Amino acid sequence: MLKWVLSAVLAACLAAPAAAQDGPLRLTITDGVIEPLPFAVPGFQAETAGAEQLAADITRLVAQDLANTGLFREIPSSAFISQPASFGAPVAYADWRAINAQALIGGAVAVSGDQLVVKFRLYDVFAGTELGEGLQFAGTTQGWRRMAHKVADAAYSRITGEGGYFDSRVVFVSETGPKDARQKRLAIMDYDGANLQFLTDSAAIVLAPRFSPRGDRVLYTSYESGFPRINVLDVASVGKQQLTTAEGEMAFSPRFSRDGNQVIYSLANGGNTDLYRTDLASGAHTRLTSAPSIETAPSFSPDGSRIVFESDRSGTQQLYIMSANGGDAQRISFGEGRYGTPVWSPRGDLIAFTKQNAGRFHIGVMRTDGSEERLLTASFLDEGPTWSPNGRVLMFMRETQGAGGSSALYSVDISGRNLSAVPVQGAGSDPSWGPLQP
């Protein structure tokens, strides 16, 4: 089994007071058994009149972000022995140690007109010291959720030593209607389902969107021309245009390169599907595979040098890795069943996939050489994993069985823990998780 340790970055605290009892703040996950780290978030203080509601909402969202990871456990305020006197006042560490709060988050909120300022400090209770510097985020009151996510990202990042993922968005396909008359629209939302916006109407089938690495554009397959073609959509303006691909009867399965300057995709010609690459600036097309089999669902390695994709050249869907310029491919999946939709982790260490075996679907991960395969989920139909920006969580779609079947978005962490439904308004499929927002 995978063993990994999330250890706190405590650069400032390594020379910490000898009084620290249990060493630095630390999260350990071993063999899928976790002891969630207990934290306390006293209500953020309202520093201006009228900021009380926002302060309360932001406090709740910070706590929710952290607790929903499954890595942290919130200590209810009813257990608190004391409250901080004010933001930045000396901390009564003994009071927090007594209730076993390992991390303490303090915050303050000030509102002026539609301007919002959120301040944040994180304390390592048992070390008796502040963890990192205080932070301040400024924005508008409408953007309060993003500011709460940024506070939670900072806390997560300081405690685990990894990047956060709360201030991020997901583009997906919003679905309505019965199975045999389904309507699909492109939609975008915060990672937690809030701030849902539609990007297309339902005039044509849209499938499998993919964010650009910076999150400013979205690639997807659309039938609006009557045939499957690739569109590029600008998220800010919602303007879209068809990508000029190499010539083919059908173009689909598009993904951006890691620099956002190229698109790789599948092109079907004469019933044969191969992978192609188009350079967005020059419009030059390169054919990457030339096999009589189906080659689709490509994904770049983080350094852009390799592509993992699926092919049925062996007779069934399996995963292969080749150079980003094409050429020979190495098969990496060898277990029972069929493997599809490989997605390279942003950390580079794992490939997530959909596995179909014995009438069930699974989301799984394996190392890039195909070793250490682990299945994280099982259901009638789980499909299409997408990585959180820090490579710790996967979101995917789960479709239920039968005439009334419908799709929903789920997330699971890469240890297989914390499987949970993403609270999306309505049915959804084909999620693509965007980057952490600037």
Partner 1 sequence: MTFTTKALLVLLTLSTAACTRPDRFGGGVNDGAANGAGAGAGVTAPTGAADPSSPQFFAQTIGDRVLFEVDSATLTAAGQATLDGQAGWLQTNSDYLAIVEGHADEQGTREYNLALGARRANTVREYLISKGVPSNRMRTISYGKERPIEVCSEESCYAKNRRAVTIISVGALS
**Total residue count of the chain as it appears in this document:** 438
In angstroms, the CA 201 to CA 233 distance is: 13
| Measured torsion, CA atoms of residues 393, 394, 395, 398, in degrees rounded to the nearest 10 | -130
Among 180, 241, 281, 327, binds partner 1 (CB under 8 A): 180
Q: Based on C-alpha coordinates, what's the Rg of the chain?
A: 23
Nearer to partner 1 by Cβ, of 202 and 301: the residue is: 202
Nearest Cα to 109, choosing from 53, 39, 41? 53
Among 58, 61, 159, 206, binds partner 1 (CB under 8 A): 206
- Of 43-51, 58-66, 81-89, 379-387, which segment contacts partner 1 by CB under 8 A? 379-387
Compute CA 40 distance to the chain's CA centroid, rounded to the nearest angstrom.
25
Count residues binding partner 1 (CB under 8 A).
Answer: 54
Residue 205 touches partner 1, criterion: CB under 8 A? yes
Q: Which amino acid is at 363?
A: I
Q: Which amino acid is at 123?
A: Y
In angstroms, the CA 338 to CA 353 distance is: 10
Nearer to partner 1 by Cβ, of 189 and 294: the residue is: 294
Q: Which of residues 208-247 bind partner 1 (CB under 8 A)?
A: 208, 221, 223, 225-228
Q: How far is the CB of 29 from partner 1 (least distance, A)?
A: 30
Among 69, 266, 333, 390, binds partner 1 (CB under 8 A): 266
Q: How far is the CB of 136 from partner 1 (least distance, A)?
A: 44
Nearer to partner 1 by Cβ, of 49 and 181: the residue is: 181
Residue 50 touches partner 1, criterion: CB under 8 A? no
Nearer to partner 1 by Cβ, of 70 and 248: the residue is: 248
Q: How far is the CB of 412 from partner 1 (least distance, A)?
A: 18
Nearer to partner 1 by Cβ, of 60 and 360: the residue is: 360
By rule CB under 8 A, what string of x and - marks binding of each residue 140-179 to partner 1?
Answer: -------------------------------------xxx
Q: How far is the CB of 356 from partner 1 (least distance, A)?
A: 7
Nearer to partner 1 by Cβ, of 266 and 345: the residue is: 266
Both structure tokens of 286: 């390169």
Residue 294 touches partner 1, criterion: CB under 8 A? yes
Residue 316 touches partner 1, criterion: CB under 8 A? yes
Residue 291 touches partner 1, criterion: CB under 8 A? no
Pairing of strands 374-375, 382-387: unpaired
In angstroms, the CA 289 to CA 284 distance is: 16
Binding positions for partner 1, rule: CB under 8 A: 177-184, 202-208, 221, 223, 225-228, 249-250, 252-253, 266, 268, 270-273, 294, 296-297, 310, 312, 316-317, 338, 340-341, 354, 356, 359, 380-381, 383-384, 399, 401-403, 405, 430
